[in-house]
Chain A
Amino acid sequence: MKHNIRIAVGPVQFRIGSDWAEPIDALGRLYAGYPQDDARPAEATVRLFAARPWRRWLRPSVHIGGDFIVPDALPLPLSMGLLAAEMAMNLQVALGWRRHMLLHASAVARDGRAVILSGESGSGKSTLAALLGEGDWRLMGDEFTLIDPEGGDAFAFPRAVSLKNEAIAEVAAQVDPSRLGPLLAGTPKGDIRHLIPRSDAIAAMHEPARPALLLFPRFGGKAAIEAMGEGEAFVRLTEASTNYVALGEAGYAALTRLVRETPAFGISYPDSATGLALVEQLWAETAG
């Protein structure tokens, strides 16, 4: 394809091609600090393309494809090309990656041990992980956490963090503006702005961490902690895994081990400061 770039995030080497220069340039800026190995074959291919040749210029709209295609995925206007690229990268990993069990979860680590936060969109897991990652924690990722089926370790997938809506101002107040991508206003998911993880988090992206705490955050309501049984954590995580079924017995074994060995809690919190305090409290009580 006319414009392309290679990006390594965690264990995945992406090859991304595009009919337009803009999304590739935007990715280039966001991932400039990531390790580069231009001779390494790609594990995942992403394509950003115009459905018809004239749509490159006339009302350009970006279709996403690659190794795997979701037939009913809607195209995005070129102004949201970066969002399209990020969605396409996530899609290829969600549907194609088999080496690890994939959890739709954010994660942070300290002293080689990981806190995994799983929840629906809007639960605040990305924001909590981003804020923890600005403090004493190493950000592992805001979208996927990878569990090694052999040893049970968690691996990072530290893509640029998608901050949404109110979280944008909250995080922007704490970080150097050079670490923020362009504001994408009015996307199908609301306003989005990407945060480049800290360079130490990127440098450590290949280091495994032992799962120490499983949290299921819920934004809203008063502060509360509720211990969660193995069974419920198991079921919730099967729903949060994009490849649990495809992995067969290996997925079952990995997930069983994860919920047996890792204490799990549901937490409710009215604001980020309370959420962060609850994470620290549970860390001190169970893992620290």
Chain B
Amino acid sequence: MSAVRTFVDLLAGRRDPAALAPLDWDGVIGVARSEAMLATLAHRLAEADLPPTVAALFADQRAAAAVARRQALWEAEMARRALAPAGIEFVLLKGAAYAAADMACSAGRQIGDLDILVLAHDIRRAENLLLKAGWEWVKSDPYDDAYYREHMHELPPLIHKTRDRMIDVHHTILPRTHRVTPDALALMSDAVTSGSGYAVLNPADMACHCAAHMLADGDLQGGLRNLWDFHTMTRDFAEAGPGFWDQLGVRAALHGLQSAVHRAARLSRDLYGAALPSGWDRHDPTDAWFRRRLFARDDWGRVTDPLLEQAFYIRSHWLRMPPAMLAKHLWTKWRKR
């Protein structure tokens, strides 16, 4: 069995870790590292019977993830101190939000940049306040800068001078040029307050954003991790409130994200064994391409299907912009290579 399938089976709880041959761990650990999920796996298998060196490595990973989580939440606090005094409200997105709300998927989850969502009419003011508080533009060329400002759903990334951490300030969750336009005002106004006092998206919107990020906006890089987020959050939200799947359907329709959300649900059933309610439990033959893309890794952590990877890259751009614009964009990018 391939390492990536073993890895997914271990996360899903379909395989007994004690039954793996010692050297099977090489591939599993290699895949987990390349998916930035080694600490996630370490948490999932915290109680398992493991070879001693694997157990020690996993303990290291859990300790490192605890430090990284604290640092990520400190970044959120820094953003709060920069923006809150001026009355700018923001919602935490993705990893920082999962950590702030102490969700199951945040156990060991890598948190890269700090992602926040502000109202569109606050975005210039938010940028100025962050610049004043020590963030600065990552050096980029004028084309990229203009591109972000005109067409993207976020400011060009900012990095903090002394802490060296990035912040992505969003005004919505998909590029402006995308075929789908989520209701950013509804995302902001229906946000909820997490246990730690930060605003986060409400459960259905959070799942919508997770699916949008994975399937409507990207080329499925980090897909296994995003899918794990989606799987664990929908499982826990459904357990906490029986009407969750219906609410998710309503919000997905509001944001124009039905197709991404339904596909994410089917993939989390296929890979991680999610139990879906009847309206969601369909079969779509095109899912096979997504599964193939998610499983395309060898036990050295390398992508095994470069053509498929390329196809998903092109797809992500195709979704993001109309054809004429895409052609112009790729031409400009190609000339600058």
Residue of B nearest to A251 (CB): B67
Residues of B within 8 A of A247 (CB): 64, 67
A41 touches B25 (CB 8 A): yes
Residue B30 interfacial (CB < 8 Å): yes
Q: A40-B22, A67-B301, A99-B60 are in contact. Are A248 and B30 (CB under 8 A)?
A: no
B67 touches A45 (CB 8 A): no
A39 touches B300 (CB 8 A): no
Residue A17 interfacial (CB < 8 Å): yes
B53 partner, pick from A15, A17, A41, A246, beta carbons under 8 A? A41
A246 touches B64 (CB 8 A): yes
CB distance from B301 to the nearest CB of A (A): 7
A17 touches B67 (CB 8 A): no
Residue B208 interfacial (CB < 8 Å): no
Residues of B within 8 A of A42 (CB): 26, 29
B57 touches A43 (CB 8 A): yes
Residue B61 interfacial (CB < 8 Å): yes
Residue of A nearest to B63 (CB): A98
Residue A13 interfacial (CB < 8 Å): yes
**Interchain CA distance A39-B25 in the complex, whole Å:** 10
**Interchain CA distance A122-B151 in the complex, whole Å:** 50
Residue B222 interfacial (CB < 8 Å): no
B300 partner, pick from A17, A43, A248, beta carbons under 8 A? A17
**Interchain CA distance A248-B67 in the complex, whole Å:** 6
A45 partner, pick from B33, B53, B63, beta carbons under 8 A? B33
B71 partner, pick from A13, A98, A248, beta carbons under 8 A? A248
Residue A26 interfacial (CB < 8 Å): no
B246-274 interface bits toward A, Cβ cutoff 8 Å, 1 = contact, 0 = none: 00000000000000000000000000000
Residue of B nearest to A49 (CB): B302
**Interchain CA distance A1-B304 in the complex, whole Å:** 12
Residues of B within 8 A of A248 (CB): 67, 70-71
A245-283 interface bits toward B, Cβ cutoff 8 Å, 1 = contact, 0 = none: 011111000000000000000000000000000000000
CB distance from B10 to the nearest CB of A (A): 14
A39 touches B67 (CB 8 A): no
Q: A39-B22, A67-B33, A248-B67 are in contact. Are A98 and B61 (CB under 8 A)?
A: yes
**Interchain CA distance A47-B34 in the complex, whole Å:** 13
B63-80 interface bits toward A, Cβ cutoff 8 Å, 1 = contact, 0 = none: 110011011000000000
Q: A13-B53, A98-B61 are in contact. Are A41 and B67 (CB under 8 A)?
A: no
B301 touches A45 (CB 8 A): yes
Residues of A within 8 A of B54 (CB): 41
- Interface size class on chain B is 20 to 34
A246 touches B26 (CB 8 A): no
Residue B13 interfacial (CB < 8 Å): no
Residue B51 interfacial (CB < 8 Å): yes
Which B38-86 residues sit within 8 Å CB-CB of chain A? 51, 53-54, 56-57, 60-61, 63-64, 67-68, 70-71
**Interchain CA distance A250-B68 in the complex, whole Å:** 13
Residues of B within 8 A of A13 (CB): 53
A-B pairs under 8 A by CB, number: 50
B26 partner, pick from A45, A47, A98, beta carbons under 8 A? A45
Residue of B nearest to A13 (CB): B53
Q: A15-B26, A99-B60, A246-B64 are in contact. Are A47 and B53 (CB under 8 A)?
A: no
**Interchain CA distance A67-B54 in the complex, whole Å:** 16
Q: How many residues of A contact B (CB 8 A)?
A: 19
A98 touches B64 (CB 8 A): yes
**Interchain CA distance A172-B70 in the complex, whole Å:** 50
A25-44 interface bits toward B, Cβ cutoff 8 Å, 1 = contact, 0 = none: 00000000000000111110
**Interchain CA distance A98-B300 in the complex, whole Å:** 21
Residue B324 interfacial (CB < 8 Å): no
Residue of B nearest to A38 (CB): B23
A41 touches B60 (CB 8 A): no
B277-319 interface bits toward A, Cβ cutoff 8 Å, 1 = contact, 0 = none: 0000000000000000000000011100000000000000000
A99 partner, pick from B26, B30, B56, B300, beta carbons under 8 A? B56
**Interchain CA distance A146-B301 in the complex, whole Å:** 27
CB distance from A3 to the nearest CB of B (A): 12
**Interchain CA distance A40-B57 in the complex, whole Å:** 12
Interface hub of A13, A39, A45 (most chain B Cβ within 10 A): A45
**Interchain CA distance A67-B23 in the complex, whole Å:** 17
A1 touches B56 (CB 8 A): no
**Interchain CA distance A40-B51 in the complex, whole Å:** 9
A228-242 interface bits toward B, Cβ cutoff 8 Å, 1 = contact, 0 = none: 000000000000000
Residues of A within 8 A of B68 (CB): 246
Interface hub of A15, A17, A250 (most chain B Cβ within 10 A): A15
Residues of B within 8 A of A249 (CB): 67
**Interchain CA distance A99-B56 in the complex, whole Å:** 8
Residues of A within 8 A of B301 (CB): 45, 67
A41 touches B300 (CB 8 A): no
Residue of B nearest to A46 (CB): B300
**Interchain CA distance A140-B161 in the complex, whole Å:** 37
CB distance from A135 to the nearest CB of B (A): 34
**Interchain CA distance A45-B54 in the complex, whole Å:** 14
Residues of A within 8 A of B30 (CB): 45, 67
Residue of A nearest to B38 (CB): A67
Residues of A in contact with B (beta carbons under 8 Å apart): 1, 13, 15, 17, 39-43, 45, 47, 67, 98-99, 246-250
Between A and B, 15 residue pairs with Cβ closer than 8 Å are: A17-B300, A39-B22, A40-B22, A41-B22, A41-B23, A41-B51, A43-B53, A43-B57, A45-B29, A45-B30, A45-B33, A99-B56, A246-B68, A248-B67, A249-B67
Using A41-B29, A247-B64, A247-B67 as known contacts, list a sample of 5 further A-B pairs with CB atoms less than 8 Å apart, ordered by residue number in A: A41-B25, A41-B53, A45-B301, A98-B61, A248-B71
